[in-house]
Structure 1
Amino acid sequence: TGLGWDRALRAVVVAPQGDLAVYVVHLGSARAGHTATRDQTVAALADAVRADPADRLVVLGDLNTATTDRVFDPLTRLLGDAQAEAGQGFGFTWPAGLPVTRPDHVLYRGLTPTAAGVLHTPDSDHRAVTAGFRW
C-alpha cells in the first residue's frame, strides 16, 4: 500500500472450483481535512487489483473509505460490493458501539455474492464484515 509497514496481504486459496485470490487490507486512515495517505493507499490497492490476473478475487478489510466517497470509485469500477448486492441494511461497521458509517468492505470479482452483513466483535472499534459467495 506504500506505507512504511505491512498493511495488506495477498493469498491464494486453492479450491476444487479453482483458485481464489484474497486480499486482506487495512488502508491508511482518513481524518477531516487529512485524507492524502488514505487516498494514496486506495489508489495503490486499485492498481494492484487492476494488475492482478486472477479470475476470482476478494478484497476485504478496513478500507477507511465510505462507498459514497469519490476516492472509492477506482475500486468500485473494478470490483463488486457484496454488501450493496447481497446484504441487508446499511452494513455500517464503525464505531462498533453505534455504527454510522461503512469503512469496512468485502469487494469481489468473478463470484456471485449470496449474503453479506456485519457482526459485533469484542475488543474492536469496528464491527466485522461477512460475506458468502458461490462460484
Structure 2
Amino acid sequence: MGISHITLITVPVTDQDRAKEFYEKLGFGVINDHEMGPEEMPPEPGLRWIQLAAPGGGTTIVLATWQVGGLKPGAQHMSVACADAKAMHVELTEKGIDASPPFDAPWGAFFQISDPDGNGVMIVEESKS
C-alpha cells in the first residue's frame, strides 16, 4: 500500500482550446476531451475535461477553467523533461513560442516558457549522470 506516483496536475486556464493548442505544440497528446456530465462535476453544466499526456506517458495534465483549490490561471508551474534542451528550444521558438535562453546547470540544461495564461513550464534536459 502507499502512493506510487502522481497521476494528474491541474493547469488553470481561461481558454481550453487555446491552452490545448499550446500544449500540443510541446508534444502533449490529448487522451480525453469531453463535456462533463452532472455525475462528474455537479452542479455546473457545460464544463469540459481536457486531459493531455507527454509522449513518454507518466503524469498527465488537465486544463481546467474551473477553480481547483484556489488556483487561478497563471499560478501553476511545472517542469517537463526532454532529451536535448537546446534543440527543443529551437523547435519551440520556430513554432512561435517565446522562451528564455537555454541555461546550462550542473544537473542539466533548461529554459523557461509560459502558456497563454502565464502558467510556467520549465523544459529540462536531465543530466545523463
Q: What is the TM-score with the length of structure 1 in the denominator?
A: 0.29
The structure with more helix, counted as a fraction of residues: 1
Q: Which has the higher contact order (CA 8 A, sep 6+)?
A: 2
Q: What is the TM-score with the length of structure 2 in the denominator?
A: 0.29
Larger radius of gyration: 2
